[in-house]
């Protein structure tokens, strides 16, 4: 018979009394730890529960909302993962989209179990468009990575006073006012003339001729005045859709 009283508190073995046989069973302490080990999904579940709220950034001039910043999302998500012995890595696939004069970036995030690196969870499909410029690809990478983190941990991003945790519904009879997009200009390009020509295109042949005619202007705007470029692009997208529908 084993004398439990003589066993030290820090002994490598501990004892369990089995109900079926009424005897003392000796188990290896390391084996017990192994059976109690959390799997990667349990760790991810705990990380989701323990993750802090993401605090949005401050409004800036011309912006009607508080931005959800990549660095803040990454800070909250990374800490929650590390606290649960999880580590995230990202790979990116980039592709130039000629029709939109944009670069598309697709983020593939893998979350590894530090205790068992053979186990990982894949977060695939988060993507973003970026301008074809010096910073376009980097911006799109950050944006797609941010939403991979958000999807992975279902992070809370609400703010009390704007569509957040304690959001108050609109009054039943209230009318939401739309905010008209301001018109931007560029001193070196006749922006309104370009937009009017695009709107006046009678068929796809004329539309494509205009696209070729103003290709240098568009490249200039992509690099130097993205707001004007976006407004021309919106007009072009609308007219192209109308022409494809025979309007």
State which residues form the domain around 145. 49-153
Most confident listed range (7-21, 158-172, 215-229): 215-229
Task: Specify if 171 maps to a domain.
Answer: no
pTM listed for this prediction:
0.51
Using only the alpha carbons of the chain, give its radius of gyration. Answer: 29
Q: Report how many domains make up the chain.
A: 2
Task: Specify if 110 maps to a domain.
Answer: yes
Task: Specify if 109 maps to a domain.
Answer: yes
User: Is there a contact between 78 and 104 (Cβ–Cβ < 8 Å)?
Assistant: no
Confidence of residue 148 (pLDDT cuts 50, 70, 90): very high
- 199 plus 139 within the same structural domain: no
Task: Specify if 37 maps to a domain.
Answer: no
pLDDT at 28: 52
Q: What burial class does residue 153 get, using C-beta atoms within 10 Å of its C-beta: 0-12 exposed, 13-18 middle, 19+ buried?
A: buried
Task: Specify if 8 maps to a domain.
Answer: no
The sign of the dihedral angle between the CA atoms of 216, 127, 89, 86 is positive
Task: Specify if 163 maps to a domain.
Answer: no
Lowest mean pLDDT among 99-113, 140-154, 214-228: 214-228
Q: Which two tokens stand for residue 193?
A: 């003339």
pLDDT digits (tens, 9 = 90+) for 8-66: 443 444 444 434 344 434 445 454 444 468 999 999 999 999 999 888 888 766 666 77
- 148 plus 63 within the same structural domain: yes
Q: Which two tokens stand for residue 182?
A: 């301001």
Q: Which two tokens stand for residue 110?
A: 């893998």
Task: Specify if 28 maps to a domain.
Answer: no
Confidence of residue 88 (pLDDT cuts 50, 70, 90): very high
Q: In sequence order, what are the residues at sequence separation of 6 or more whose Cβ sits closer than 8 angstroms to the Cβ of residue 113? A: 39, 40, 43, 85, 86, 119, 120
Helix (H) or strand (E) holding 136: helix 136-153
């Amino acid at each position: 018979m084993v004398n439990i009283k003589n066993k030290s508190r820090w002994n490598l073995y501990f004892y369990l009394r089995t109900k079926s046989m009424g005897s003392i069973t000796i188990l290896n302490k390391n084996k017990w730890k192994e059976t109690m080990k959390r799997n990667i999904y349990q760790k991810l579940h705990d990380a989701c529960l323990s993750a802090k709220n993401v605090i949005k950034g401050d409004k800036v001039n011309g912006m009607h909302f508080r931005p959800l910043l990549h660095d803040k999302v990454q800070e909250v998500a990374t800490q929650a993962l590390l606290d649960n012995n999880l580590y995230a890595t990202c790979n990116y696939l980039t592709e130039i989209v000629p029709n939109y004069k944009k670069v598309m970036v697709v983020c593939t995030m893998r979350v590894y179990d530090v205790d068992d690196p053979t186990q990982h969870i894949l977060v695939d499909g988060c993507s973003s468009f970026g301008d074809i410029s010096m910073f376009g690809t980097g911006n799109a990478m950050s944006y797609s990575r941010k939403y991979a983190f958000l999807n992975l941990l279902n992070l809370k991003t609400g703010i009390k006073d704007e569509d957040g945790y304690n959001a108050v519904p609109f009054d039943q009879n209230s009318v939401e006012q739309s905010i008209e997009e301001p018109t931007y200009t560029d001193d070196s390009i006749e922006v309104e003339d370009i937009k009017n020509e695009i709107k006046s295109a009678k068929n796809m042949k004329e539309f494509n001729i205009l696209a070729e005619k103003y290709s240098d202007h568009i490249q200039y705007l992509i690099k130097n005045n993205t707001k004007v470029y976006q407004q021309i692009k919106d007009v072009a997208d609308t007219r192209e859709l109308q022409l494809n529908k025979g309007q």
